[in-house]
């Protein structure tokens, strides 16, 4: 997190946390903008409950400012722009259970996704605790830009994560409004506490070199060479609508580079 210094009534960079009477509060708590029953592979997770469906939920706000964000309508929005409705943790957990009991649905739990769920981590924690009591699973899809204190609050209830590893350079993370060291520390701790898969979106001219991919894959392998890595293709979005999509051949070349170090490398959006 950015630990924004906020005056009373002011909202942080993420647009989801606000100073109310001198206390920083989660302004997007329970404010749901997106809800869908998705295949687990869409998170993407390849090695966690394959073939399952999971109730996927999103709010608004994000602590990064990626110019290629595919969900920018909600991730870059605040409370005034987001079309959200309040759903309590119990209501959401009950909804997940209802979809589990429908024979054709077979929902396995809840995935916190679409925007950056850690901007409202308290809601994730409170809901995930109830979902776990129902014997269901919790999946977190995150950019990993959060303190380890926040991660420790969540790990007892999270079964799997897909973490965006945007690239493998400090200057690239600064361009996105993040901190490379924070994300690496988050991944290292998460990988010890639950099932983790990583995703790197390849943006032409930004993070598409073989050297950078080799360095990234070596680092992941040092943690655990079995950690799955998803290498995905960029398409023009948001403030990078003028860019060309990533060359498909380059995606496959980068995947081959990563496979020199990692056992489970997948390509996406090709």
pLDDT tens string 5-43: 544 544 545 565 655 566 667 678 999 999 999 999 999
pLDDT tens string 209-233: 999 999 999 999 999 999 999 999 9
Higher local confidence (pLDDT), 67 or 8: 67
Helix (H) or strand (E) holding 86, with range, is strand 85-86
Least confident span in 3-17, 35-49, 55-69, 143-157: 3-17
Which domains does the chain show, CATH number per domain?
Answer: 29-268 (3.20.20.70)
Residue 158 has pLDDT above 70, yes or no: yes
Residue 74 has pLDDT above 90, yes or no: no
Mean per-residue pLDDT of the chain: 91
Least confident span in 13-27, 50-64, 157-171: 13-27
Q: Round to whole Å and give the CA distance between 175 and 85.
A: 32
Q: How does residue 147 score in pLDDT terms, banded at 50, 70 and 90?
A: very high
pTM of the model: 0.93
């Amino acid at each position: 997190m950015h630990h924004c210094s906020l005056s009373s009534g002011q909202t942080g960079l993420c647009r989801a946390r606000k100073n109310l009477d001198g206390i920083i509060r989660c302004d997007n708590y329970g404010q749901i903008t997106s809800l869908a029953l998705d295949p687990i592979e869409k998170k993407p997770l390849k090695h966690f409950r394959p073939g399952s469906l999971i109730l996927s939920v999103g709010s608004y706000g994000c602590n990064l400012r990626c110019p290629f964000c595919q969900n920018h309508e909600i991730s870059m929005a605040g409370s005034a722009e987001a079309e959200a409705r309040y759903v309590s943790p119990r209501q959401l957990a009950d909804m997940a259970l209802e979809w589990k009991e429908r024979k054709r649905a077979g929902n396995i739990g809840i995935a916190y996704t679409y925007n950056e769920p850690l901007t409202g981590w308290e809601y994730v924690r409170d809901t995930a605790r109830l979902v776990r009591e129902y014997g269901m699973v919790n999946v977190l899809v995150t950019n990993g830009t959060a303190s380890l204190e926040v991660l420790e609050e969540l790990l007892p209830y999270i079964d799997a994560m897909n973490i965006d590893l945007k690239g493998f350079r400090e200057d690239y993370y600064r361009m996105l409004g993040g901190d490379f060291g924070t994300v690496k520390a988050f991944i290292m701790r998460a990988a010890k506490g639950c099932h983790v898969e990583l995703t790197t979106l390849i943006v032409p001219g930004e993070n598409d070199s073989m050297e950078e991919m080799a360095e990234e894959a070596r680092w992941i392998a040092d943690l655990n060479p079995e950690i799955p890595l998803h290498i995905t293709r960029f398409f023009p979005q948001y403030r990078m609508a003028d860019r060309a999509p990533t060359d498909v051949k380059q995606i496959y070349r980068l995947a081959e580079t990563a496979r020199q170090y990692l056992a489970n490398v997948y390509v996406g959006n090709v």
